[in-house]
Amino acid sequence: MGISVGNLSIDAALASAHDRYIKRHPKSAAAYQAARAVMPGGNTRSVLYFDPFPLTMARGAGAEVWDIDGNRYCDFVGEFSAGLYGHTDPVIRAAIIEALDGGIVMAAPTTIEERLATAIRDRFPSLEQLRFCNSGTEANILALVTAIAFTGRRKIMVFREAYHGGVLVFSGGGSPMNVPFDFLLGDYNDAPAAERLIRAHAGSLAAVIVEPILGAAGNIPGGVEFLRTLRRATHDAGALLIFDEVKTSRCGAGGVQALHGVVPDMTTLGKYIGGGLPTGVFGGRADIMGCFDPKGAKALRHAGTFNNNVCSMAAGYAGLTKVFTRARADEFLREQEAFRVELNEKMIALNVPVQFIGLGSMFTVHFSSRPISHPKDIPAISRRLAQLFHIECILSNVLVASRGDIFMSLPVGPQHKAALSEAILRFVDSYGELIRREIAALT
């Protein structure tokens, strides 16, 4: 970068970065304008938009992608954790082709559906029985309505700044797009307050749903005692504990629930679980999921044309049993956690208030000199600095999410990690003075 910031403000630094970005991506600029004519905002997925306009991609291979202007990038967006297998895994590709050759839209159960369900249950024993759907959002909605039907209660406890899908958003307290459940809002990683809230509503509480790592709020890990308190308090209240492991199930062979030894009543999965294709999973104790047995009295009906689509089932099964095996999952967690720790050590050595918070292959850059265990620990200025970090990384041919999230994929190699490390160090070298000045102003 080689930028001399002097007394440059964040706004001025962003304006300069945007100018360089615009000059480098004329075809993406034109594609964005064309898309705006037929899609509001030029896209159909809000998180993909960022100023001044998003990149338009042409292709991907392994852990790399190319935009339509011909620029090549190391991909650390990782489809927000869904891209665990990268872009061209040969095992996944072969499984999809085989499924296509056998016919699609079968309107019937297939053997691959049962095999994937068994593989998932073997990895996540809390899922004694499970059902498939089309996304993590669907999985969470279905888990919540299942909890309401099973308990006969209506209230759902969630946590501020949590994200459980496009219609279950609790940043800023909620979203007008949210489904109209009767929500209680708690504070993440505050075990005593959560226990008090559960006890106060014990007679009407159907479920507590929690991300073991608070993803969209900055990949803040849930404390072991916090998660164990939720387990104990929901059990005592007769409410269900739902672990949203849509993202975090990649953290080791059995997800965060296995790492911490906390067994929820229900679990939801998604993202990479379909091998990169659309899939969601919800399930849990057999007595709860028995509500969906058609042979039962007053069985719940669960519809979805593409719930068991053969391509997702085949890709998911190949991924879990041949690529992201139990051994590889544990190894991947160790490798990427060591890399995350190494990045933090470099920031400490440079005496710059930058932290990479998360676990293993999923973490977020935060600009703060203080420990981060709650969303309120993240200063507002950190989000502005993350926007600058995001654009400068793109200009260094490294892709991270616009909010500073970094997701590692299985094909990431030493050269990709080196590129990310170098982009971070260049950013700190260029903007370290600005970062220190802005963070110091908060004290």
- Catalytic residue list: 163, 244, 271
349's CB contacts (< 8 A; 6+ apart) are: none
Which class for 39: exposed (0-12), middle (13-18), buried (19 or more C-beta within 10 A)?
exposed
- CB half-sphere exposure, 94, CA atoms < 13 A: 7
Q: Say how many C-beta atoms besides its own lie within 10 A of residue 345's C-beta.
A: 10
334 burial via Cβ count (<10 Å: 0-12, 13-18, 19+): exposed
Q: Which amino acid is at 391?
A: I
CB proximity list for 21: less than 8 A, separation 6 or greater: 52, 391, 394, 395
Six token digits for residue 240: 């269900």
The label of the residue with tokens 């999410």 reads 401
Q: Comparing C-alpha atoms, which of 253, 258, 303, 304 is closest to residue 278?
A: 304
Q: CA–CA separation, 210 vs 44, rounded Å?
A: 27
Dist CA 410 CA 322 (whole Å): 13
Angstrom distance (rounded) from CA 18 to CA 56: 16
